Amino acid sequence: MAEDEAITPKENISPDEKPKEIQETISLEVLKIIKDSQQRHGLRHKDYQRYRSYCTRRLQRIRKSLKFVQRNRNKFAKKVVTDEVLTDVKFLYIPLVSAEGAWSYAMQLKQEANSERRKGFHVITRLKKALKHAEELEALCESDKCDARSKLESQAYHLWIKGSLYFETEEWENCMDAFKSASNIYEKLASAVTEDQRVLYLERVNDIVPNLRYCAFQFGDESAIQDLRELRGKGGEMSTNIDFLLQQTREKQAKTLSEVYWRGRTMPVTNERVRTFLLSNKESEQELAAATDNEAKISIYENSLMECKDALQTLRDELKTDPNWKRGQQTGEDVSSNQYLHTYLTYIRLTRTIERNILLVESLKERLPGSLAETKLEQGQKKTKPQDLIRMYDTIIQSLGEIPQLPGVEDDEDLQQEVTAKTYKFKAYRCFYLAQSYSQAKKWKEAAALFERAMHHVERSTDEWQSVNNGPIQAEIQELETLAEEINGLKYSAQASSILDSSDMSITKGMAQLKLKDKRPLEERLHQYSSNQPEVASKPNFTTFPPDFKPSPCKPLFFDIALNHVEFPSLEQKLEQKKTASAGGIGGFLRGWWGGGSS
């Protein structure tokens, strides 16, 4: 009640007795306030929940600072800002921040409605609440206390919120009228302010353009979709909805797509998400052909990869119920149509990733030291090192290595040969920039060897491309010839630098170690004449003493094997005579003693 009493006297103040601050004109820059808050509190990264929480906290702080709170001792008393209460610009912040909180909640629910369709109804409820607060803001700004700029900005903000609500409810005529009126007001404001402020209003006008073109498409203007494709990737808050607008259009066109043909095989397409992606993939090719700068192309690739990821996940969920899915992968049997469609989508994902990485490599090459674009770098931009390119080429080679392993294309010789040719080409680029990194470190021998390896990869890639039956063969071979010229030039430069460095070092070391006196003994240099080396000295060196050991052959060893073949004469006769002579010995004596013997 104390707060109500504090407000009541202000309501009864007569115009002549108003304080000085009431007499001053109130100015509210609606667009600048909400843009600053959105960029600082989550919307730079599309975090609507964070921004909604910030709006809730800020609204409480504003009410507390104005002593305009609605709850006192667990009792709620609603307080509405009226023209009589409007004594400070902060009172206008209450409906503005309330509208922003309801709008951010609606955008958060819109993101979540992709997986939960029921939240789409809640989006409309939140936008209606945001529209109510925007109407309150416009009514307050119509007061004489506010200047003309505040009135125009609040009116444009109200129309913008109204157009967003009509867009969700698909009231295309009312939506176009609301957005057109808001765009006209912002254009008038841009023409009446300074240069810095004009940029902010023109950005909001550009954000409204995609929604206007989509409304025109709903009225039957077929050229509007082409305009939306051209607007994709140009930035801005509302331009992020272009993908959503194009998605709705593709869902209508996807009903006519029933099959797809790839690598000599036709596959039926029954999944709606896959149909939508295949249409989007065709449109992306047209957008890439029309895009002029690398940033726009990279943005198209990113969107296409996200859609491909969702389509693959949907198709993978269907294949989990197929009993032949894992068995076919393990046994190498013929893949079914759905499995081959999964291979096709995986091939698209890998090729899109490779093409996106090639664009990133091209943008990195522009910032290499010595390039033409390197001299135009803005302050704070980092120069590219060869190591950065090496990592990118590693990623490309890894993606290429996954393609031949996809189910259903193992026997496709043309595809295998094309992938091999590309792999050798990117290996050549990888060795080329790896050699440059060694050159920067003045490791000339390693650099020359890597340049030689890169040249070998170029030759292998050229041979493979000449055997490929289809594809941009001539363009690839021309690119490889250009790369070969660069490799040869840098290779010879590295070899020359290696020779110069080695010769300089050898001369320096040789001069440091040079000695004029020859310490060899005289017997080893008898064929040389030296007039400045007198041999008569205190310690003449005529020969080496003691002499050095010299290896000498061992004495040969002979084996007498001739004895094995010699036949000696018989000695038997001599042996018998010896026996007879010995018979008159002790044996004869005994016989004579006993009376024996011959008679």
| Identity of the residue numbered 33 | I
More confident residue, 116 or 224: 116
DSSP state string for 468-484: -SSSSHHHHHHHHHHHH
- The predicted model gives 513-521 an average pLDDT of 66
- The predicted model gives 481-506 an average pLDDT of 82
Specify the pLDDT at position 533: 55
Specify the pLDDT at position 22: 42
- The predicted model gives 124-136 an average pLDDT of 94
Q: Is 246 exposed, middle or buried (0-12, 13-18, 19+ CB in 10 A)?
A: buried
Distance CA 201, CA 190 (A): 6
Tokens of 213: 């073109």
Structure confidence by residue, pLDDT tens digits, 145-156: 899 899 999 999
Positive or negative, the CA dihedral 323, 328, 334, 336 is positive
- The predicted model gives 186-203 an average pLDDT of 87
458 pLDDT band, cuts 50/70/90, is: very high
Count of positions (residues) in the chain: 599
594 pLDDT band, cuts 50/70/90, is: low
Residue 103 in this model has a pLDDT that exceeds 80: yes
- The predicted model gives 523-551 an average pLDDT of 74
- The predicted model gives 34-44 an average pLDDT of 91
Specify the pLDDT at position 6: 37
Residue 234 in this model has a pLDDT that exceeds 60: no
Judged by phi (left if over 0) then psi (alpha if -120 to 50, else beta), residue 591 lies in alpha
Residue 177 in this model has a pLDDT that exceeds 70: yes
Residue 423 in this model has a pLDDT that exceeds 90: yes
More confident residue, 11 or 131: 131
- The predicted model gives 358-369 an average pLDDT of 85
Specify the pLDDT at position 324: 65
pTM metric for this prediction: 0.51
Q: Quick one: which of 432, 335, 352, 342 has its CA closest to 396? A: 352
Find the helix packing angle between 119-141 and 148-168, rounded to 10°: 160
Structure confidence by residue, pLDDT tens digits, 52-88: 999 999 999 999 999 888 877 778 888 889 888 888 8
Preceding amide of 546 cis, omega within 30 = yes
Distance CA 320, CA 10 (A): 71
Residue 431 in this model has a pLDDT that exceeds 90: yes
- The predicted model gives 213-232 an average pLDDT of 64
Name residue 260's beta-bridge partners: 267
Tokens 């498409």, located at residue: 217
Cα-based torsion angle of the residue sequence 375, 378, 382, 385 in order, rounded to the nearest 10 degrees: -20
- The predicted model gives 320-334 an average pLDDT of 60
Residue 195 in this model has a pLDDT that exceeds 90: no
- The predicted model gives 225-244 an average pLDDT of 52
- The predicted model gives 534-545 an average pLDDT of 70
Q: In whole numbers, what is the pLDDT of the chain averaged over residues?
A: 79
- The predicted model gives 10-35 an average pLDDT of 63
- The predicted model gives 187-216 an average pLDDT of 86
Alpha carbon 579 to chain centroid, angstroms: 116
Distance CA 268, CA 252 (A): 18
Q: Quick one: which of 378, 384, 387 has its CA closest to 365? A: 384
Tokens of 173: 């005529």
- The predicted model gives 276-287 an average pLDDT of 81
- 298 — phi, psi (to 5°)? -65, -40
Residue 30 in this model has a pLDDT that exceeds 60: yes
Distance CA 126, CA 107 (A): 9
Residue 165 in this model has a pLDDT that exceeds 90: yes
